Amino acid sequence: MIRDTFDRVHNYLRISLTDRCNMRCFYCMPNEHYDFSPFSKLMQGDEIEKLAKIFVTLGVNKIRLTGGEPLIRKDAADIILRLSKLPVKLTLTTNGSRVYEYIEVFKQAHINSLNISLDTLQADKFNHITRRNDFALVRENIQLLLKENFHVKVNVVVMKEFNDDEINDFIEWTRDTPIHVRFIEFMPFNGNLWTSNKVITWKQMMERIEQKYKVHRLQDEKHDTAKKYNIEGHAGTFAFITTMSTPFCGDCNRMRLTADGKMKNCLFSNSETDLLTALRNGEDIVPLIYKSVYHKAEKLGGQFEPNFENLNPEDIANRSMITIGG
Ligand code: SAM
Ligand code: SF4
């Protein structure tokens, strides 16, 4: 068991497969020129498998693959199939653009639930956010997953006066479609143009929804980061990821491995532990994992407080989201 000083058991590992992406979401990638890591600096397939196995011996029972865009990595299918042999619940977060190529791989790997990012239901806004033209493709891939009986969670980063006018359009989508929409409070990362006045909190989102619908609270699962709800008679459900206004750190069980093999004990931690170099040098990485989690801060990487209104993003030392793995 990997336990921190606040007695939180850590059994969930998120592995970033790459810091590259075929989209350019402005809230995720720095605006300025950005150099992707060369392939040799990234964890190779066998190294990912070795590291994952070590985490599993320490009690990890859930692994999420993320990125960058995990499915653009050429050996993504091989990595997914290798990890599917481990005794873990395997899942992934994707921008949805390549999903159609992987349906059989997901089935073979017993992946039955995926998170797909889609921040708008309007094609022109999608192009503006992602700087790519793949709106129809992503929508088609979501339909394909539903047709193939996958559970689809749609991640929506909500930004004030940008896409907050679409909250109820997403709720309307749940009327006949069995999707689970997750509204995410906009978070600050290196170079992502975050300002506190662009955050719309879950309570503000809920007010908009309650003006139009009768909302029911659903039971959250243990360690769930989201507060779950549905609307009577709707096929789908929805939730809020409330990192900025109401952090859920008290129950945190998550650790992260960046694509270049650095362990982060929190999305907002400013320290990293280089597991890949240690692995390549033949060192024992178990003590490094324990040490990293031992130093985990109580909340938000020890970098800021939930009263984000006065937060200056320049004061947070972190990578950009695309290089951490969301
Ligand atoms: N490329 C994949 C995708 O877009 O789903 C996986 C990686 S992406 C970094 C993982 C998740 O992080 C996505 O759902 C994305 O919307 C979310 N994300 C990125 N930047 C964010 C931010 N500044 N605030 C909140 N969520 C963010
Ligand atoms: Fe790429 Fe996902 Fe980041 Fe968008 S959110 S740039 S799709 S990694």
pLDDT per residue of the chain (326 residues) written in tens, 0 to 9: 999 889 899 999 999 999 999 999 988 887 666 678 888 899 999 999 999 999 999 999 999 999 999 999 999 999 999 999 999 999 999 999 999 999 999 999 999 999 999 999 999 999 999 999 999 999 999 999 999 999 999 999 999 999 999 999 999 999 999 999 999 999 988 777 888 889 999 999 999 999 999 999 998 777 777 789 999 999 999 999 998 898 888 889 999 999 999 999 998 888 899 999 999 999 999 999 999 999 988 888 777 776 788 877 777 777 677 777 77
What pLDDT score does 33 carry?
65
Cα(77)–Cα(66) distance, integer angstroms: 13
What pLDDT score does 31 carry?
67
Distance from the alpha carbon of residue 130 to the mean position of ligand 1, in angstroms: 11
What pLDDT score does 32 carry?
64
The number of the ligand nearest the C-alpha atom of 69 reads 1
Identify the residue whose tokens are 């006065």: 310
E-strand ranges in 54-147 read 62-66, 89-94, 113-117
What pLDDT score does 270 carry?
84
Distance from the alpha carbon of residue 213 to the mean position of ligand 2, in angstroms: 31
Nearest one of 102, 107, 25 to 67, comparing CA atoms: 25
Out of 31, 92, 95, 258, give the residue to mutate to test ligand 2, the one with the largest number of ligand atoms within 8 Å of its CB. 95
Domains contained in the chain, CATH given: 12-324 (3.20.20.70)
Dihedral sign for Cα 102, 119, 245, 20, please: positive
Phi, psi of 142 (to 5 degrees): -65, -45
User: pTM of this prediction?
Assistant: 0.94
The number of the ligand nearest the C-alpha atom of 134 reads 2
CA contacts within 13 A on the Cβ side of 324: 23
Index of the ligand 1 atom closest to the CA of residue 194: 23
Q: Which residues contact 266 (CB under 8 A, 6 or more apart)?
A: 249, 252, 254, 256, 296, 297, 300, 301
Index of the ligand 2 atom closest to the CA of residue 130: 4
Identify the residue whose tokens are 């939930």: 306
What pLDDT score does 132 carry?
92
Identify the residue whose tokens are 């050429």: 74
Nearest one of 227, 216, 244, 229 to 307, comparing CA atoms: 244
Burial class (CB in 10 A: 0-12, 13-18, 19+), 130: buried
What pLDDT score does 12 carry?
96
Burial class (CB in 10 A: 0-12, 13-18, 19+), 35: exposed
Q: Which residues pair with 117 in a beta bridge?
A: 155
What pLDDT score does 227 carry?
81
77 token code pair: 């299918």
CA–CA distance from 318 to each of 90, 194, 272, 308, 323 (Å)?
Answer: 27, 13, 10, 16, 10
In this structure, the residue with its CA closest to atom 20 of ligand 1 is 28
Index of the ligand 1 atom closest to the CA of residue 115: 5
Contact 96, 141 (CB under 8 A): yes
Nearest one of 125, 315, 308 to 199, comparing CA atoms: 308
Index of the ligand 1 atom closest to the CA of residue 155: 14
- End-to-end Cα spacing for the chain: 24
Give counts: helices (H), strands (E), the chain.
Answer: 10, 12
In this structure, the residue with its CA closest to atom 22 of ligand 1 is 187
Index of the ligand 2 atom closest to the CA of residue 68: 8
Give the residues surrounding ligand 2 with Cβ less than 6 Å away: 21, 23-25, 28-29, 67-69, 95, 117, 130, 322
Q: Which residues contact 222 (CB under 8 A, 6 or more apart)?
A: 251
Distance from the alpha carbon of residue 93 to the mean position of ligand 1, in angstroms: 8
Out of 65, 93, 254, give the residue to mutate to test ligand 1, the one with the largest number of ligand atoms within 8 Å of its CB. 93
What is the 8-class DSSP label of residue 222? Answer: T
What is the 8-class DSSP label of residue 109? Answer: T
Q: Which residues contact 4 (CB under 8 A, 6 or more apart)?
A: 10, 265, 293, 294, 296
Question: What Rg, from alpha-carbon coordinates, does the chain have?
Answer: 19
Cα(169)–Cα(305) distance, integer angstroms: 32
Out of 20, 22, 25, give the residue to mutate to test ligand 1, the one with the largest number of ligand atoms within 8 Å of its CB. 25
Length of the chain: 326
